[in-house]
Amino acid sequence: MRTRVGVTALAGAMLLAVGLAAGPSAAATAGTWTVRPGGAVAAKAGKTTLTDTTLNSTLTCLSATMTGALKAGSGVPGAGIGSITAAAFTCHELLPVKLTALGLPWRLNLSSYDRRSGVARGTVSHLRLSFVGPACTVQVNGTSGTSANGVVAVSYSDGHGKLTFLPAGGNLHWFHVKGCGGLLGNGDPAVLAAAYAISPPQVITSP
């Protein structure tokens, strides 16, 4: 049974459990990319969630933002095609609850492209998060160390102009759990899910 995490139960964190499903892709491995217009970008998401998939507990934030840059032009390699230099989360407007992005800049890496749907797939890497609340502190990372080595699978749709953090394909886990009412397990897998609208919208294709 899915646990609904209330404001008082998880250090003032939001409630509601949520999941994003990613359908199968006919994408082919891509060597180089074309990005237009590239350059500085901003991204904004609505509800953003972090889920303990073992205990079915979810921390829900109201919104999230990112800023960064994309390499522009043609013949661009997919590894490090983008850089996320700032990321922020609004998890509650009244309570002292804070989800902090660490390990910045995060890197956007693209690896496959589906011409039929106009969807590129890849990862955001070098990711680490810290959550602090009145009765709960926890780190989210790929491993338990201090180096930011978390990876999240992502997709970008030319048609919708959205970068989506997908629920499968990453390596995030909860670490250094203190408090939290037993709703988060140390070493449990963590899923970060969000859909960021990119401004200005980008056309990203391969080749």
Asked if residue 10 belongs to a domain, the reply is: no
pLDDT score for 27: 60
- Sheet of strand 32-36: strand arrangement: 73-77, 32-36, 203-205
Read off the pLDDT of residues 84-126 as tens digits, 9 standing for 90 and up.
999 999 998 767 889 999 999 999 999 999 999 999 999 999 9
Read off the pLDDT of residues 156-166 as tens digits, 9 standing for 90 and up.
999 999 999 99
Read off the pLDDT of residues 38-77 as tens digits, 9 standing for 90 and up.
999 999 999 999 999 999 999 999 999 999 999 999 999 9
Average pLDDT, the chain: 88
pLDDT score for 184: 96
Domain of 201 in residue numbering reads as: 29-205
Full-prediction pTM beyond 0.75?
yes
Asked if residue 3 belongs to a domain, the reply is: no
Asked if residue 146 belongs to a domain, the reply is: yes
24: CB partners within 8 A, 6+ apart:
none
Contact 2, 176 (CB under 8 A): no
Asked if residue 187 belongs to a domain, the reply is: yes
- Tokens, residue 78: 């997919």
Residue 17 has pLDDT above 70, yes or no: no
Asked if residue 200 belongs to a domain, the reply is: yes
Residue-wise burial string across 88-97, b where 16 or more C-beta atoms lie within 10 A, e elsewhere: ebebbeeeeb
Asked if residue 166 belongs to a domain, the reply is: yes
Asked if residue 183 belongs to a domain, the reply is: yes
Asked if residue 87 belongs to a domain, the reply is: yes
- Picking from 133, 146, 138, 143, the residue whose alpha carbon sits closest to that of residue 184 is 138
Number of domains in the chain: 1
